[in-house]
Amino acid sequence: MDRISWSKFAHYNCVDADLDDAPDLEFPFHPGSKFRAVNTGIDEPACQVNYEDFVRGSDITWTLAHDEVQYVVSGTAEIEYHLPPLMIETGKVVAGPGSVYLLPRGCRVVWRVLSDEPFRHLCITYPNPSYPIPLAASVEKLRKA
């Protein structure tokens, strides 16, 4: 018998130092790419929320196995998307501070960072894909207190 997994309430204040001090990571299948990410501590069955920086350089191509909403904090990026099921419906937008967008499950997306500063955004995924992202330092500090 399947049981419902209930999520717990969780809260995070966006702390820029969490990302500024995070180690550089490389996207799978994109040698030489660079990004930073921290898990906000919102890591529940219903969703995972990560705070991320994508940097100018390599375009990042990804296909999503979940629904994802992103809210842009700073920087700009061109976002090209191809929608399932046949990837015939496509489009491009430029997202900057204050932008919010939905990437539906199965969507193929290409991010091209346009700004010199990182494309900083909150990444909210439904359901939780369990990305192996390290916990933000500010969250670790609170949990130890």
CATH of the domain at 116: 2.60.120.10
Q: Tokens in use for 95?
A: 């997202």
Structure confidence at residue 1 (pLDDT): 60
pLDDT tens digit sequence for 97-134? 999 999 999 999 999 999 999 999 999 999 999 999 99
Number of domains in the chain: 1
The answer to whether position 8 is within a domain reads no
The answer to whether position 134 is within a domain reads yes
Amino acid letter, 33: S
The answer, yes or no, to whether residue 144 has pLDDT greater than 70, is yes
Mean pLDDT of 17-25: 96
How confident is residue 91, by pLDDT bands cut at 50, 70 and 90? very high
pLDDT tens digit sequence for 25-46? 998 888 888 999 999 999 999 9
| Residue carrying structure tokens 């018998």 | 1
Mean pLDDT of the residues in the chain: 95
Calculate the alpha carbon distances from 29 to 62, 106, 129 in Å: 10, 18, 18
> By C-alpha distance, which of 62, 68, 57 is closest to 103?
68
Which backbone phi and psi does 141 adopt, to 5 degrees?
-60, -45
| Residue carrying structure tokens 């998307």 | 81
The answer to whether position 78 is within a domain reads yes
pTM of the model: 0.93
The answer to whether position 9 is within a domain reads no
The answer to whether position 127 is within a domain reads yes
Which range marks the domain in which residue 55 is found? 37-144
The answer to whether position 17 is within a domain reads no
Sheet holding 67-74, edge to edge: 35-43, 48-54, 119-126, 67-74, 100-103
CB atoms within 10 A of CB 129: 12
The answer to whether position 43 is within a domain reads yes
CB atoms within 10 A of CB 137: 15
The answer to whether position 76 is within a domain reads yes
| 70 in Cβ contact with 124 (< 8 Å) | yes
